[in-house]
Amino acid sequence: MKLSILLLALIASVSFAQQNAANYDEAKVGDVVLPEVLKTTGGGAITTAREWTEQRRPEVLALFQDHVYGRIQPKPDDLKFEVTATKADALGGKATRKFIHISLSNHPQWKGLDVMLHVPNDAKGKAPVFAGLSFNGNHAVSTEKDVPINDRWMRPNAKNDKAVKDNRATEESRGVESSRWPLEMIIGRGFAVATAYYGDIEPDHADGWKDGVRAALSPDGASTVWKDGEWGAIGAWSWGLSRILDYLETDKDVDASKAAVIGHSRLGKTSLWAGSSDSRFAIVISNDSGEGGAALMRRNIGETTAIITKAFPHWFTPKYRSYAGNANACPVDQHMLIALMAPRPVYIASASEDNWADQKGEFLSGSHAAPVYALFGKKGLGVSEPPAIDQPVGDFIAYHNRTGKHDVTDYDWLQYLKFAARHWK
């Protein structure tokens, strides 16, 4: 355990040094030539929504599988859901809270996934739902004292060194993530919200997969040697989001046809890949996802492919590392990832002080995905230049750059709630 803590501390110090050494000068970005989203690998032009859906979209999805995230495993046959507890008067009587354990009956070596679902008690009919993964567990999302503390491996908490000891959560970690998940605000707007700890699916360190779902589903188990095109941790976490949606489809209190997948930072990358891979997610939301998420990889601003694959190679398929310092060789860029969501609504958010995530690169991904949405008669961002701070723009593709740091705030959530309400009215 001490070795893990030292390793994580080393990664953090290296990351800090990398951020200071990274380029933040727009003049040094140079010309950025993007792969054409509406041209097939054979050079053919895509001119209709049907051609996109039947020809180009599967092609682009396969390219991301082969070169960036790897192929996600399909829905398993041995999926099991167990509602372990229900509380009818959660959040001061505003919500019914359920705990659901998701497991694989034929793969007991995976310890499963614990979901916390809040449904508004005053909902008229089935409630639309936000689904996302947390960094610290359900007990960190909620401030209620009866939420069990997650006992899985955890990364040290950067804001509270007492929250995690020897890579295990303590009582000090209760509610530390609640500002990122304003449950009462979400419930008050008529939405349900489902959360789970991403480390339940796979612990977030280089060897975490050995204790996660990837090893459990691999014929070679913890001896697996991952090859190009095989899934990384982002793929595993995305797989877990789809399993949460599988459960939500069985819950009579939730309208799973109106499920928005949401994530922040590395989990924003995850929400984008989950939304690309699983079209059942009706809305896709990326909060400050940066490199490997919404930001264009070909822009040399802030975090780059070289930096991210050195610090976190386990997030991606092995092939992605070959594009470190060689982004132009990659057959895809992130505007094509956003395009995979078409015609479903997608929201991309940045923060004004989060230069590491390349706010302009996130905006440009949405902008360059618009031609695909146009094939479906859907409007995109509606502007050609990044908007002013705290000025949301867009229709089926939406974007804002919020005042502040790398985080999820009430401002962000207000935009997402209005966005969902507008598209699901």
Please tell me the distance from the alpha carbon of residue 173 to that of residue 161, in angstroms, as a whole number: 9
Q: Report the C-alpha gap between 180 and 159 in whole angstroms.
A: 14
Consecutive H or E run containing 146: none
What type of residue is 391? Q
Residues composing the chain: 425
Determine the residue type at 339.
A
Which has the closest alpha carbon to 364: 8, 34, 141, 6? 34
Distance linking the first and last C-alpha atoms of the chain: 50
Task: Give dist(CA 34, CA 12) in Å, integer.
Answer: 32
Residue 331 to residue 320: CA distance in whole angstroms:
11
Residues 269/227, Cβ–Cβ less than 8 Å: no
Question: What secondary structure does DSSP assign to 100-130, as a single string?
Answer: EEEEETT-TTS--EEEEEEEETT-SSSEEEE
**What whole-number distance in Å separates Cα of residue 378 and Cα of residue 55?**
19
* Catalytic residue ranges: 265, 406
Q: Is 339 helix (H, G, I), strand (E, B) or coil?
A: helix
What gap in Å lies between CA 23 and CA 21, rounded to an integer?
A: 7
Alpha-carbon gap, residue 187 to 260, rounded angstroms: 14
Tell which residue, 353, 102, 118, 346, has the closest CA to residue 246: 102
Distance of alpha carbon 36 from alpha carbon 181, whole angstroms: 37
Cis before 343? omega within 30: yes
Q: Locate tokens 């204790």: which residue?
A: 211
Residue carrying structure tokens 């979400």 = 186
Which helix H or strand E contains 192, and what residues bound it?
strand 192-197
Q: Which of 246, 248, 216 is nearest to 231 (CA)?
A: 216
Output the CA torsion sign for 363, 288, 101, 72: positive
